[in-house]
Amino acid sequence: MLDNNSPSSHDQPSTREDYRAQGDRPKRKRFWPWVLGILVILLCIGGWIAFKAYSDVRETSEQMYQAADYKSKRNGQVDLSQGNQAFSVLLMGIDTGSLGRTEQGRSDTMMVMTVNPKTEQTSLLSIPRDTYTTILPNGNKDKINHAYAYGGPAGAVETVQNLLDIPIDYYVSVNMQGLEDMINVLGGVTVTPPISFSEDGHQFVQGQATTLNGEAALAYVRNRYDDPEGDYGRQARQRQVILACLKEAASLSSLPNYQEILNTIGSNVQTNMAFSDMKDLFTNYRGAANTINQAQLKGSGQMIDGVYYEMIPEDNINQASQTLKQELNL
């Protein structure tokens, strides 16, 4: 028989309130103000870190900036802000800063890089350092790597413009010590040697992926006498190391060392690319790194008055010039 005086299931307190008086409900803790407060703090910290990084990059770019007074073959100045204009850069590795060298130096490595946002392609053309050509602005015939020694960045840019009949919009030069330091800061770069050889106590095995520190990387790109391709093989290894550096610098693993990377760049790199150009490049041209083409200007060796030069046939120069003009939409 149902006892009407006994409490029904509807009269039972809820599970959370079994041992409390019916009217004695606990006050809900208000977590949202705490959550919002933590989010605000995190956003402030993140904003400060972003501002600090932005400020550090800007400071480094100002340290690297070095104007070059040369007349460009381009009508007007290239504009990277819209992200639709192809441009060119002369990359130079200067043989100073390492092995005790402190003089003005020569451009031991010379490459012309073109970046085309429409085709999303970047191209690298290596120029043999012994190329026999007209050195500007003095007009004398000599090895192309002497252009930097005679006229600095401006002389090198004008000489390359004259050789290839294209505009050079920017230059970037890095000394040997800078390359060594950069690779060390990045934790090394990994390459797969196309041949086996030894240089300065370092062994390189064909087909065996090897992580190189800065000293080993310089030895890797310096050797040319053991390479069947001679200086062409060396230039291919130079491109290999440069691309490996770019790949490593772009990886997330390099982020914790960004301050050290910036310090190394600021001390060893010079360019006429302003900070605003760098921002536009990062914002508008990242897609152009999807495809990277490599090419080599080739000729044959010749002795003139007891000095070795690389003689590049006119047809080879014209072909390279036409390819570069197409990549620059000229």
Predicted pLDDT of residue 17: 45
What type of residue sits at position 307? Answer: V
SS3 string, the chain, reads CCCCCCCCCCCCCCHHHCCCCCCCCCCCCCCHHHHHHHHHHHHHHHHHHHHHHHHHHHHHHHHHECCCCCCCCCCCCCCCCCCCCCEEEEEEEECCCCCCCCCCCCEEEEEEEEEECCCCEEEEEECCCCEEEEECCCCEEEECCHHHHHHHHHHHHHHHHHHHCCCCCEEEEEEHHHHHHHHHHCCCEEECCCCCEEECCEEECCCCCEEECHHHHHHHHHCCCCCCCCHHHHHHHHHHHHHHHHHHHHCHHHHHHHHHHHHHHHHHEEECCCHHHHHHHHHHCHHHHCEEEEEECCCEEEEECCEEEEECCHHHHHHHHHHHHHHCCC
Rg (CA), the chain: 30
**Beta partners for residue 197, in sequence order:** 204
> Could you give the maximum distance between any two Cα atoms of the chain, in Å?
127
**Buried b or exposed e, range 119-150, using 16+ CB within 10 angstroms:** bebbbbbbbbbbbbbebbeeeeebbbbbbbbb
Predicted pLDDT of residue 253: 57
Distances (CA, A) of 154 to 62, 76, 145, 146, 167: 19, 17, 13, 12, 13
State how far the Cα of 220 lies from the Cα of 203, in Å rounded to an integer. 9
| Weakly modelled stretches of the chain, pLDDT under 70 | 1-53, 97-105, 251-255
The domain locations on the chain are 75-327
Q: What CATH code would you report for 75-327? A: 3.40.630.190
Task: Give 68-90 pLDDT, tens digit per residue.
Answer: 988 888 888 899 998 999 999 99
Predicted pLDDT of residue 60: 84
The half-sphere exposure of 81 on its side-chain side, counting CA atoms within 13 A, is 5
Peptide bond preceding 137 in cis form (omega within 30 of 0): yes
Predicted pLDDT of residue 272: 93
> Residue 91, Cα to own-chain centre: how many angstroms?
11
Predicted pLDDT of residue 117: 94
Predicted pLDDT of residue 40: 58
Predicted pLDDT of residue 50: 56
**pTM, rounded to two decimals:** 0.78
Predicted pLDDT of residue 161: 97
Distances (CA, A) of 242 to 20, 110, 246: 73, 12, 6
What type of residue sits at position 329? Answer: N
Predicted pLDDT of residue 6: 46
Torsion angle defined by CA atoms of residues 78, 83, 86 and 87, in that order, rounded to the nearest 10 degrees:
50
Predicted pLDDT of residue 283: 86
